[in-house]
């Protein structure tokens, strides 16, 4: 059997490994509380499901334009403009099979072999994998919890070489939930323009922010920065539509045309029915998005307080997405029943086997001292999950 070196050296998504383990235990009848998943637990709102049924009934079941139906591309432009004031025409937008696919198209379109892409760590696991798939080189900037897991201008300047092509900003961040302020983004923007870099701004969680935080979208900073930004968004998180596989990319029309060429050869259009559902999602009444956001906000408050009450655990109350990223390193080096916790992976495995609660080790995101806890699950599950974590870590000596 021959498997190419590229695929052979690739790893399965680290977050999926853990949720896979949780699913396996559940299949054995074990009651696992799953705090590892990166998807909302709400059903897709009824109005969106109804729109999909209407689309099928109307016969929208054939191929569409490879880059997505024009009404959806136009609607995405208006949806972005309403949110952040930035205007994009239909030919500056492409619809893809989820934001992950949007990111792949982007990197494949702008990166030459051996070019560097700056990735702040902790990072979403897919970024380095995609950069490597397109033969680019991921260059990491390590951030700290003291700096709210955000890069500083000095760090960014130091990471840039003559091979740097782009930086990926995940704002709000998966896994940390951190958000950048306008002035922080402006400082990054200045360096980006000085060095003629692209910013791949992954804003898929931008509609899920809390404590009245005013989210600032990167391309809204200035027309010059808009030209250098490739904006990634989609319906997966804010509309609870992870399975529908619709992502959006907004950028300069030449880049979008390049991505359209690539997509037309690789996958053709994303699912026609999902496109009509996404059209309803972003153009219909938006109350459901706000209802879900409010529920996330309540869960986040509970989780923040409950985690900080566990002796040895510290966490900030991150303002975005649906994750907290607490520091559990005080348990490293401790043991229970012959199991020694050497790092975050051991800890996550211990929490599953001893506490039947699934979390994601920070190691998969490039940050060893932490674990990621998602609050995209019911309050009941969060209460039980935290209680199990508390009991499990109390046993460590």
Ligand X SMILES: Cc1ncc(COP(=O)(O)O)c(C=O)c1O
Q: Which residues contact 282 (CB under 8 A, 6 or more apart)?
A: 75, 76, 79, 235, 239
Handedness of CA 98, 99, 100, 105 (dihedral sign): positive
**By CB under 6 A, residue 347 contacts ligand X:** no
**By CB under 6 A, residue 128 contacts ligand X:** no
C-alpha closest to that of 284 among 43, 50, 42: 50
**By CB under 6 A, residue 240 contacts ligand X:** no
**By CB under 6 A, residue 236 contacts ligand X:** yes
**By CB under 6 A, residue 234 contacts ligand X:** yes
**By CB under 6 A, residue 174 contacts ligand X:** yes
CB of 25 to ligand X, least distance (A): 22
**By CB under 6 A, residue 247 contacts ligand X:** yes
CB of 229 to ligand X, least distance (A): 15
Q: Identify which of residues 313 and 321 has a Cβ nearer to ligand X in the complex.
A: 321
Contact map string, positions 191 to 230, toward ligand X, x by CB under 6 A: -----------x-x--------------------------
- The conformational region for residue 358 under phi > 0 = left, psi -120 to 50 = alpha, else beta, is beta
**By CB under 6 A, residue 38 contacts ligand X:** yes
Report the alpha-carbon distance of residue 350 to residue 348 in Å, rounded: 5
CB of 339 to ligand X, least distance (A): 30
118 neighbors 166 (Cβ within 8 angstroms): yes
Q: Identify which of residues 100 and 165 has a Cβ nearer to ligand X in the complex.
A: 100
Beta strand 93-96 with 339-340: parallel, antiparallel or unpaired?
Answer: unpaired
State whether residue 94 is helix, strand or coil: strand
First-to-final CA distance of the chain: 47
**By CB under 6 A, residue 177 contacts ligand X:** no
Of 95-103, 185-193, 213-221, 380-388, which part binds ligand X (CB under 6 A)?
A: 95-103
**By CB under 6 A, residue 277 contacts ligand X:** no
């Amino acid at each position: 059997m021959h498997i190419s070196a590229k695929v052979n050296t690739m790893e399965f998504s680290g977050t999926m490994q853990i949720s896979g383990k949780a699913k396996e235990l559940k299949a054995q009848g074990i009651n696992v509380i799953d705090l590892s998943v990166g998807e909302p637990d709400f059903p897709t709102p009824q109005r969106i499901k109804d729109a999909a049924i209407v689309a099928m009934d109307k016969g929208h079941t054939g191929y569409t334009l490879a880059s997505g139906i024009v009404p959806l591309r136009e609607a995405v432009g208006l949806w972005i403009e309403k949110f952040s004031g930035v205007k994009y025409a239909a030919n500056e937008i492409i619809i893809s099979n989820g934001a992950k696919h949007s990111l792949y198209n982007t990197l494949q379109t702008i990166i030459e072999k051996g070019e560097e892409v700056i990735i702040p760590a902790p990072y979403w696991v897919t970024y380095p994998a995609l950069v490597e798939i397109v033969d680019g080189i991921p260059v990491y900037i390590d951030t700290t919890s003291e700096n709210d897991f955000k890069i500083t201008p000095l760090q960014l300047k130091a990471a840039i070489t003559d091979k740097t092509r782009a930086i990926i900003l995940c704002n709000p961040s998966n896994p940390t939930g951190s958000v950048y302020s306008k002035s922080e983004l402006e400082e990054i923007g200045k360096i980006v323009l000085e060095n003629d870099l692209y910013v791949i701004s992954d804003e898929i969680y931008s509609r899920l922010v809390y404590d009245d935080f005013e989210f600032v979208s990167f391309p809204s900073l200035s027309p010059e920065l808009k030209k250098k930004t490739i904006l990634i968004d989609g319906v997966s998180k804010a509309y609870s539509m992870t399975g529908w596989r619709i992502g959006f990319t907004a950028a300069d029309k030449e880049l979008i045309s390049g991505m359209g060429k690539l997509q037309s050869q690789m996958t053709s259009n994303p699912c026609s029915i999902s496109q009509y559902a996404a059209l309803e999602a972003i153009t219909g009444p938006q109350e459901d998005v706000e209802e879900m956001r409010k529920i996330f906000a309540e869960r986040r408050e509970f989780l923040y307080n409950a985690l900080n009450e566990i002796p040895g655990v510290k966490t900030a109350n991150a303002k975005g997405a649906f994750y907290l990223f607490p520091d559990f390193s005080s348990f490293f080096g401790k043991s229970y029943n012959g199991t020694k916790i050497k790092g975050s992976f051991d800890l996550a495995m211990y929490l599953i086997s001893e506490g039947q609660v699934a979390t994601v080790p920070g190691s998969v995101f490039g940050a060893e001292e932490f674990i990621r806890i998602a609050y995209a699950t019911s309050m009941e599950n969060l209460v039980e999950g935290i209680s199990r974590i508390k009991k499990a870590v109390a046993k460590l000596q």
